[in-house]
Amino acid sequence: MFTADDAILAALLVPVLGAIGIALAHRWPNLREGITLTTAVALLACVLNILPSVLAGARPTATLFSVLPGLEIAFEVEPLGMLFALVASGLWIVNSIYSIGYMRGNNEAHQTRFFVCFALALTATMGIAFSGNLFTLFLFYEVLTLITYPLVTHHGTEKARQGGRVYLGLLMGTSVLFLLPALVFIWYLTGTTDFTAGGILAGRLGPAGLMGLLALCMFGIGKAALMPFHKWLPAAMVAPTPVSALLHAVAVVKAGVFSVVKVIVYIFGLDTLGVNGTTDWLILLAGFTIVSASVVALGADNLKRRLAYSTISQLSYVVMAAALLAPLSVVGATLHIAAHALGKITLFFAAGAIYTAAHKTEVSQLDGIGRRMPWTMGAFAIGALSMIGLPPAAGFVSKWYMLSGAMASEQWLAVGVIALSTLLNAGYFLPIIYRAFFVAPAHDEHDHPHGEAPLPMVIALTATAAGTVLLFFVPDVPLALAKQMLGLGG
């Protein structure tokens, strides 16, 4: 009988086997891409096999081996990891469909290497999602950085290599300089790094020690893009759009904010941190990142750059909400992992479709484009509504919980940040929608008309836009997992 415990190992193994199959099928593009899609579907099936057990309160486990006493490569699926795995595995299918249209539509080189690295990145993502302790999470976190580096530098140009150096340097540098010492110190203090309900540090450190250790962890998780360690994210925009979608929606940044929430909830514990203003500095820093990144996005004409700084801002919503330590805000942070994933992947899909069909990269070039690409820009509008936090898009639900938690705990600075950033989000997204649908196209658009991008790309972006709306109306599973993580009823 195939159990939930078995499904954990299968979820780690399936993408590896898929990567091998993709590499072997490099001479036959249709077969290669068929293997990609089949692998993605198989991974989602493994993840869905685990979901009923987790919703019922079980914690499926699997242990590979012990490195040292208290340091094991082990897996345990709890509600937060379950949600992350669902998001990543579900969106891999859609991203694979999109990637096929994009890579063929733009005649990209090295397509086999691209799909192989994509599959291996999902293995690393599953390892992070299902990690049973901080040591296992750290190992797969590093693997994800290394395996996505060839994707960032895919084009092989000097600009791509420079972007890759910034990407690798910042992500590896922060994790080795900050997160690794924090991991060793936690193990030294407690004899374990296991993720435990309520945390493992109660009574181990005073407020100053907790604050210092928390700072090491938060800055060490560079994928969360807290300032000043955020520049890897816009630097990585040299990658093909499907990679940007992977970095910003499916795996890399989600691994960052997932790790932030997991460390706060399961290593430190909300009660342990909720003394003497231990997280006040983190609320301030996340709030600063939210507002300042939004201001940069407001002035960016390049569409992918605008979306990159939007991502930096949105990630710090999760960090700030987790740092508030209020149950409602932590539920909002957890929901935003899913809401942002669906909304932001839709926006990047739309940006790639615009580039593929119309070869436009700047916001100032988008006048009237919605008339020729209505499906693409309609989907973009839905993704933008989710980022702003307006109904009927999923971002409204997560932002509502964050705001409710901030108000309930009387964190008025956080309330102000959410309100101001919502206005800034509207300021840099709504003009794009207005240009696309209500401004007449440039003269050369009449001379050289274009239509939608290749069908696989349109199917993918329509699916993620629909998912963004669906999650607004039916947030039951993510909400149930978020509440179960905190032991909340209802």
pLDDT value of position 449? 59
Instruction: Report yes or no: 108 and 151 within 8 Å, Cβ to Cβ.
Output: no
Q: Which pLDDT value is given to residue 205?
A: 84
- Residue 309 confidence (pLDDT) above 60: yes
**Alpha helices (H) along 389-447:** 394-408, 412-438, 443-447
Q: Output the average pLDDT for the chain.
A: 89
Closest CA to 264 of 226, 308, 309, 211: 211
Structurally, the chain folds into a number of domains equal to 1
Global pTM? 0.92
Report yes or no on 252 lying in a domain.
Answer: no
Q: Is the pLDDT of residue 79 over 50?
A: yes
- Higher-confidence residue of 432 and 103: namely 432
**Residue 40 domain-assigned?**
no
User: What pLDDT score was predicted for residue 414?
Assistant: 92
Summarised one tens digit per residue, pLDDT across range 282-308 is 999 999 999 999 999 998 999 988 998
- Mean pLDDT throughout 13-20? 94
Q: What mean pLDDT comes out for the span 195-215? A: 89
**pLDDT per residue over 315-366, tens digit each?**
999 999 999 999 999 999 999 999 999 999 999 889 988 988 888 888 998 8
281: its two tokens? 């500095």
Is 382 among the domain residues? yes
Q: What share of the chain is helix, strand, coil (3-state, %, to 5)?
A: 75, 5, 20
Residue 315 lies in a domain: yes
- Give the three-state DSSP class for 78: coil
User: pLDDT tens digits for 412-457?
Assistant: 999 999 999 999 999 999 999 999 998 888 665 554 557 888 888 8
Helices 79-105 & 476-485 angle (0-180, nearest 10)? 140
pLDDT in tens, 30-74: 898 899 999 999 999 999 999 999 999 899 988 888 887 778 899
pLDDT band at 490 (very low <50, low <70, confident <90, very high): low
Quick check: is 355 in a domain?
yes
Element (H, E) at 480: helix 476-485
Quote the pLDDT of residue 448. Answer: 53
Does some domain include residue 96?
no
pLDDT of residue 413: 92
Q: What is residue 438's three-state secondary structure?
A: helix
**What is the sign of the dihedral through the CA atoms of 176, 180, 181 and 182?**
positive
Task: With respect to residue 32, please indicate whether it lies within any of the assigned structural domains.
Answer: no
133 in a domain, yes or no? no
Using the CB atoms, write b or e for 285-317: b if 16+ within 10 Å.
bbbebbbbbbbbbbebeebbbbbbbbbbbbbbb
Tell me the residue range of the domain where 289 lies: 277-489
State residue 443's pLDDT score. 62
61-68 vs 71-76, strand pairing mode: antiparallel
Q: What 3-state class would DSSP assign to 199?
A: coil
Q: For residue 125, what pLDDT band results from cuts at 50, 70 and 90?
A: very high
Q: Which residues pair with 362 in a beta bridge?
A: 302
